[in-house]
Amino acid sequence: MSKENTLDEHLLIQKYFSDIGSAYLAERNVELSVGDDAAVLNLNPDTQYINSIDTSIEDIHFLNSISPRDIAYRSCAIALSDLAACGANPSWYSIALTFPKADHLWLEDFASGLNDFSDEYKIPLVGGDTTKGKLSITVQVMGEVEKGKALLRSGAKENDLIYVSGVIGDAFLQLKELQKSQNQDTGFDAYLHPKAQIALGLELIDIASSAIDISDGLIQDLNLICKSSDVGADAHLSMIPTSVENKTLELINSGDDYQICFTASEDKSAKVNNISERLGVPITEIGKITNTKELTLFDHEGNKMDLESGYSHF
Amino acid sequence: MSKENTLDEHLLIQKYFSDIGSAYLAERNVELSVGDDAAVLNLNPDTQYINSIDTSIEDIHFLNSISPRDIAYRSCAIALSDLAACGANPSWYSIALTFPKADHLWLEDFASGLNDFSDEYKIPLVGGDTTKGKLSITVQVMGEVEKGKALLRSGAKENDLIYVSGVIGDAFLQLKELQKSQNQDTGFDAYLHPKAQIALGLELIDIASSAIDISDGLIQDLNLICKSSDVGADAHLSMIPTSVENKTLELINSGDDYQICFTASEDKSAKVNNISERLGVPITEIGKITNTKELTLFDHEGNKMDLESGYSHF
């Protein structure tokens, strides 16, 4: 559901929006603008603030059959995932909610999903806007990170190992089940209640050389690390963690995985394993950064796979 | 176009969203949360940061016949108006853009509207999100104000004079013309190119006792000052500045006026007049704050008008 309906967002944003008002970045204390998971802002001498905004639309980003409570929680967790990939500690969020009619039961249930989210990440809702229209939720999140410590896409170096958190493709598999089933009670957490990997992002500070949220698809997002870091990558399909045996390109690049792909030098591998055990979050090595400036995915027989077809376009 | 399609936003937000995660406000340095024009955040010892978010939707908040450049500029200026009413100096903005298809000419023209906006207020675009769907633009703006100086809705005192900036109802009149006309070349600036009254907001610090952006309608928004300040107000229809002689309730409460309604004690009136002259912005006295806890609007004969019908509901 998600891929064929999303824009090739990275290219669009780069082409049309990356330089708007860039003359004012320095005087407005903006350290990093359009192009990473989030913006980095210098608002006091010791701390950098990380800002991100994400829209979830009915029938594109979530099934219209899921409960308002799940819609609210999911929309917020998705937005927070960009902060996790920056190693930020969440501070607060605001939402712009567009909905077709003021149904009080619906709003009450939606608000309870926001409460779940606030309680899970211990952050308040600080503001919002409500408008009438087709259901759509835009969530803005702000977090903070010690100055200079934010995890960016741009730091990967040759020979760094490539890791991914969690299990890839579960949200995609669960969405397919949900589209067939009326019963949403159990077994759909990857789709209905995605977790932003905040704790992991915080632990990766001073360890990861680069990081990205892989919600647009693991391969596509790893490619953005390569482009931002001016490196290449060799990744192996067989090493990518999935819950089913048939690791197709469609599955591992399906998006909707609110996990972190990151790189770290080989001498950090014991620390990475230690973090995985401590947090109880699977972290799997899937390949290595190269100096080729090209991302290559090898299949089970060691042959290069054709990646073009796995990319999303408008 | 706007009134009958907007929610009674204030009531909705108050009822469902005002307390979400409020247990975490203090630890997250949030000074003021849901309920004013914008949120007030303490991110360093000397400065408070002001955050606001606003959605503009095709056919509800703007005519689909206006140019992408005007749509972009208008959507951003509308969001910035909330910061003006807080007396904030704008810092940067981010946008979440939903649009039906990747039309390059459209995107180029839209981007040029963002450039116009960035150049006018000297602020950079720091991030964004693009999604596919019916045209909708959510703009998040952040600004700063010296600690403790933000203009709020809650400071109006008995006997304060009530002022409004600009001319009320022009956007409403222009919208009616635009709905009939193909020619959008001149004379439609109030609707197509609204200005956020940033300079005025900055000047009103230490002068205004309360302030609000009146984009939801002058009477409705003045009523929010009364409720937040626990006071009443006597306002006079004949004193409200309009460009046509027939001052109807529909006209003066039509919304889409990106102006500031504020209160100030009588001894500040010379300063208020001086600001008006210096900035070249009309500022008109329209009434007085009372201790009645009720907002009363008097017609040309001095009779109380029925205000209920002028309020918007979902």
Let me know: does A163 contact A272? Beta carbons within 8 Å.
Answer: yes
- Give pLDDT, residue A280: 96
The pLDDT of B175-199, averaged and rounded, is: 81
- Give pLDDT, residue A29: 78
Chain centroid to Cα A258, Å, comes to: 5
- Give pLDDT, residue A231: 96
* CA-angle at B255, arms to B251 and B261, nearest 5°: 100
Pairing of β B136-146 and β B125-132: unpaired
Confidence of residue A212 (pLDDT cuts 50, 70, 90): very high
pTM of this structure: 0.89
- Considering only CB atoms, which chain A residues are within 8 Å of B141? none
State the number of CA atoms in the 13 A half-sphere of B127 facing the CB.
26
The pLDDT of B195-221, averaged and rounded, is: 94
A91:B131 CB<8 A: no
Instruction: State in words which class domain B3-146 has.
Output: alpha beta
Question: Among B299, B279, B311, which residue's Cα sits nearest to residue B239?
Answer: B299
Task: List chain B domain ranges.
Answer: 3-146, 161-310
A125:B34 CB<8 A: yes
The distance of B85 to chain A (nearest Cα, Å) reads 15
- Tell me which residue in B21, B92, B126 faces A124 most closely, judged by beta carbons: B21
pLDDT digits 0-9 by tens, A93-127: 999 999 888 888 999 999 999 999 999 999 999 88
The pLDDT of A2-6, averaged and rounded, is: 40
pLDDT digits 0-9 by tens, B217-231: 899 899 999 999 999
Mutate to test the interface with A, among B107, B112, B120, B131 (most CBs of A within 10 A): B131
The pLDDT of A69-92, averaged and rounded, is: 93
- Mean pLDDT (chain A) is 87
The pLDDT of A16-42, averaged and rounded, is: 78
Euclidean distance between CA atoms A214 and A222, whole angstroms:
8
Confidence of residue B313 (pLDDT cuts 50, 70, 90): very low
- Mean pLDDT (chain B) is 87
Residues whose CB falls within 8 Å of the CB of residue B20, separated by 6 or more in sequence, listed in order: A111, A114, A115, A118, A124, A125, B34
- Give pLDDT, residue B190: 79
- Give pLDDT, residue B312: 47
Minimal Cα distance from A37: which residue of B? B127
Give the ipTM of the model, two decimals please. Answer: 0.88
The pLDDT of B213-217, averaged and rounded, is: 89
The distance of A126 to chain B (nearest Cα, Å) reads 4
The pLDDT of A76-98, averaged and rounded, is: 93
pLDDT digits 0-9 by tens, A293-302: 899 999 989 9
- Ranking A41-50, A135-144, B56-65, B178-187 by mean pLDDT, the lowest is B178-187
Let me know: does A211 contact A260? Beta carbons within 8 Å.
Answer: yes
Q: Which two tokens stand for residue B147?
A: 């600690």
The pLDDT of B126-155, averaged and rounded, is: 91
Alpha helices, H only, A47-197: 68-84, 104-121, 170-180, 189-192
Confidence of residue B309 (pLDDT cuts 50, 70, 90): low
Euclidean distance between CA atoms A114 and A137, whole angstroms:
12
Let me know: does B143 contact A28? Beta carbons within 8 Å.
Answer: no
Q: Return the amino acid letter for B37.
A: D
In this predicted model, which residue has the larger pLDDT, B124 or A45? B124
In this predicted model, which residue has the larger pLDDT, A204 or A131? A204
Whether residue B5 has pLDDT greater than 50: no
pLDDT digits 0-9 by tens, B73-93: 999 999 999 999 999 999 999
Pairing of β B210-213 and β B283-290: unpaired
Whether residue A45 has pLDDT greater than 70: yes
- Give pLDDT, residue A6: 46
Q: Percent of chain B scored above 70 by pLDDT?
A: 92
Euclidean distance between CA atoms B229 and B158, whole angstroms:
10
Euclidean distance between CA atoms A285 and A263, whole angstroms:
9
Pairing of β B161-165 and β B260-264: antiparallel
- Ranking A65-69, B3-7, B8-12 by mean pLDDT, the lowest is B3-7
Let me know: does B233 contact B287? Beta carbons within 8 Å.
Answer: yes
- Give pLDDT, residue A2: 39
Tell me if chain B has a CB within 8 Å of the CB of A14: no
- Give pLDDT, residue B10: 62
Residue B234 CB burial class (10 angstroms; 0-12, 13-18, ≥19):
middle
Q: Look at the domain A161-310 and name its fold.
A: Phosphoribosyl-aminoimidazole Synthetase; Chain A, domain 2 (3.90.650)
- Give pLDDT, residue A198: 96
In this predicted model, which residue has the larger pLDDT, B306 or B1? B306
Alpha helices, H only, chain B: 9-12, 68-84, 104-121, 170-180, 189-192, 198-203, 218-229, 249-252, 269-279
Residue labelled with tokens 């304060």: B160
Confidence of residue A309 (pLDDT cuts 50, 70, 90): low
The distance of A40 to chain B (nearest Cα, Å) reads 8
Let me know: does A156 contact A229? Beta carbons within 8 Å.
Answer: yes
Confidence of residue B184 (pLDDT cuts 50, 70, 90): low
Other C-beta atoms lying within 10 Å of the C-beta of residue B266: 10
Euclidean distance between CA atoms A303 and B5, whole angstroms:
57
What stretch of H or E contains A200? helix A198-203
Confidence of residue B290 (pLDDT cuts 50, 70, 90): very high
- Tell me which residue in A34, A108, A134 faces B16 most closely, judged by beta carbons: A108
Other C-beta atoms lying within 10 Å of the C-beta of residue A290: 17
Q: Which two tokens stand for residue A119?
A: 């309680």
* CA-angle at B236, arms to B170 and B163, nearest 5°: 65
Let me know: does B126 contact A38? Beta carbons within 8 Å.
Answer: no
Let me know: does B233 contact B296? Beta carbons within 8 Å.
Answer: yes
Q: How far is CA A311 from CA A4, A218, B129, in A?
A: 9, 10, 18
- Give pLDDT, residue A25: 80
The pLDDT of A38-54, averaged and rounded, is: 85
Euclidean distance between CA atoms B9 and A305, whole angstroms:
52
Whether residue A3 has pLDDT greater than 60: no
Q: Return the amino acid letter for A265.
A: S
B53:A136 CB<8 A: no
Tell me if chain A has a CB within 8 Å of the CB of B14: no
Tell me if chain A has a CB within 8 Å of the CB of B73: no
Whether residue A235 has pLDDT greater than 60: yes
- Give pLDDT, residue B140: 94
- What are the DSSP E strand ranges found in chain A? 30-32, 39-42, 47-57, 89-99, 125-132, 136-146, 161-165, 210-213, 232-236, 260-264, 283-290, 295-298
- Considering only CB atoms, which chain A residues are within 8 Å of B314? 101-102, 132
Whether residue A311 has pLDDT greater than 70: no
Whether residue A26 has pLDDT greater than 70: yes
The distance of A302 to chain B (nearest Cα, Å) reads 36
Whether residue A48 has pLDDT greater than 80: yes
What stretch of H or E contains B141? strand B136-146
Tell me if chain B has a CB within 8 Å of the CB of A4: no
Let me know: does B98 contact B136? Beta carbons within 8 Å.
Answer: yes
